[in-house]
């Protein structure tokens, strides 16, 4: 069998086109800003590369592989960090912009573990503001469990161009970040953890309030350790007006997860301070007793309202009332009590038979431990026994 002339011409034509396509593909730069959107459910974050020169398999580090649960999100991060450091972006809107970066020192796994745990905690939440998280600042070094980057301490050369710390700060600048949380672990820190801040002469009011908030929530210490080092990420970022503090927990003398959990709580407090997610939703009512629209309710039983988390009285606590809708009159209440998640309201006198009562709880009647108010008022009715 022979090919006809036309077939050969066609073949040459397709060959030329194919070469052309290969040529174009070969010279098309691979974008470093590959953005992956969470497809596991409602998309709340994107992941992009910060620095494609720092790739490494962080799972080669046993502390990382043993202490970070394998999930859709963590596997996504582990895979992408083989090619470089990545940043996850949450939220939108006009709220504050915060960058959390963990593990510029590749032998401080508590920082990475705490940050990854925090990512799992917030991955499906929404934000009024923008939160960037770099869970592995230098994957190459984390893979090797190495503090140094190319023979130097990367947190002493962030003032030099094109170093990992410098690039992180430029990322923060380019994205209008106002707050930077630099997460570490180290020796001789102890159980409670530290926040390292600037000297009293250079600390900003925002840094002071931010660190005091974290301290009040976690019981950690505040120190000016390292405040004078010009090549530290914290001190370099400050030059650009970015409020920056450093977190440090014990790395050596207590179990990895114990320390990681201390740092996790510090991260939580740091983010909550900026009014971000997680706990910024305020308490929600999960059940009441009597139930909504209940019939045959006894005349003297207490009314209890249960929330999804522990509560405290809020500014409108005194606005809680019970009204007899049959008579149209509010009833007299005994002092209201809160225990954990439950609010108990008792009436001073017995209820009337076969009357309808309404329980009303105004917005901000209660708040959660971090001060987030009950967002909307809530009311329900029930009817007493005949």
Binding residues vs Zn ion (CB under 5 A): 105, 108, 184
Residue 184 Cβ, how far from Zn ion at the closest point, in Å? 3
Please report, to the nearest 10 degrees, the dihedral formed by the alpha carbons of residues 287, 290, 292, 294 taken in order: 140
State whether residue 217 is helix, strand or coil. Answer: helix
If the CB atoms of residues 110 and 207 are measured against Zn ion, the closer one turns out to be: 110
Nearer to Zn ion, 138 or 311 (CB): 138
In angstroms, the CA 86 to CA 89 distance is 10
Query: Could you say which DSSP state residue 103 is in?
Result: -
Q: Which is nearer to Zn ion, 55 or 103 (CB)?
A: 103
Q: How far apart are CA 194 and CA 182, in angstroms?
A: 12
The residue number whose beta carbon is nearest to Zn ion equals 184
CB of 90 to Zn ion, least distance (A): 24
CB of 251 to Zn ion, least distance (A): 9
- CB nearer Zn ion, residue 185 or residue 268: 185
- Pick the closer one to Zn ion by CB: 108 or 141: 108
Distance CA 100, CA 166 (A): 15
Q: Give strand ranges (E) for the chain.
A: 36-37, 45-51, 85-102, 128-134, 179-186, 194-196, 221-223, 243-250, 285-289, 294-297, 303-307, 311-313, 321-324, 329-330, 337-339, 342-345, 356-361, 366-368, 378-384
Strand partners, 180: 99, 244
* In the complex, least distance from residue 248 CB atom to Zn ion, rounded to whole angstroms: 7
Q: How far is the CB of 143 from Zn ion (least distance, A)?
A: 17
- Which one, 169 or 374, has the nearer CB to Zn ion? 169
Least Å distance between CB 111 and Zn ion?
A: 7
**Closest distance to Zn ion from the beta carbon of 105 (Å):** 4
Collect all residues with Cβ–Cβ distance below 8 Å to 336 and sequence separation of at least 6.
313, 317, 320, 343, 344, 345, 346
Cα radius of gyration (the chain): 28
Give 246 or 383: the residue with its C-beta nearer to Zn ion: 246
């Amino acid at each position: 069998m022979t090919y006809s002339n036309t077939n050969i011409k066609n073949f040459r034509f397709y060959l030329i086109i194919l070469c052309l396509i290969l040529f174009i593909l070969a010279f098309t730069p691979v974008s470093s800003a590959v953005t992956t959107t969470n497809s596991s459910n409602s998309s709340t974050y994107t992941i992009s590369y910060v620095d494609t020169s720092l790739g490494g398999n962080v799972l080669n580090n046993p502390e990382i592989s043993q202490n970070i649960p394998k999930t859709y999100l963590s596997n996504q991060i582990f895979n992408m960090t083989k090619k470089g450091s990545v940043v996850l972006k949450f939220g939108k809107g006009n709220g504050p912009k915060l960058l959390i970066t963990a593990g510029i020192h590749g032998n401080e796994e508590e920082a990475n573990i705490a940050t990854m745990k925090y990512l799992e905690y917030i991955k499906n939440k929404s934000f009024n503001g923008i939160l960037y998280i770099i869970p592995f600042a230098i994957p190459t070094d984390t893979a090797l469990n190495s503090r140094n980057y190319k023979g130097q301490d990367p947190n002493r050369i962030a003032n030099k161009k094109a170093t990992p710390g410098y690039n992180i700060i430029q990322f923060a600048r380019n994205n209008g970040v106002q707050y930077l949380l630099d997460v570490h672990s180290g020796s001789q820190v102890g159980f409670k953890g530290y926040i390292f801040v600037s000297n009293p002469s250079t600390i900003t009011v925002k840094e002071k309030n931010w660190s005091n908030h974290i301290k009040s929530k976690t019981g950690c210490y505040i120190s000016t350790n390292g405040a004078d080092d010009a090549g530290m990420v914290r001190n370099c970022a400050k030059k650009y007006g970015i409020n920056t503090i450093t977190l440090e927990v014990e790395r050596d003398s207590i179990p990895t997860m114990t320390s990681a959990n201390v740092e996790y709580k510090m991260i939580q407090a740091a983010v909550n301070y900026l009014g971000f997610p997680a706990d910024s939703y305020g308490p929600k009512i999960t059940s009441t007793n009597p139930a909504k629209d209940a019939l045959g309710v006894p005349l003297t039983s207490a009314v209890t309202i249960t929330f999804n988390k522990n509560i405290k009285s809020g500014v409108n606590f005194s606005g809680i009332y019970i009204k007899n809708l049959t008579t149209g009159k509010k009833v007299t209440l005994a002092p209201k009590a809160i225990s954990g998640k439950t609010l108990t309201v008792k009436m001073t006198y017995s209820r009337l038979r076969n009357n309808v009562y309404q329980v009303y709880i105004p917005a901000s009647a209660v708040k959660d431990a971090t001060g987030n108010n009950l967002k909307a008022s809530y009311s329900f009715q029930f009817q007493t026994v005949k």
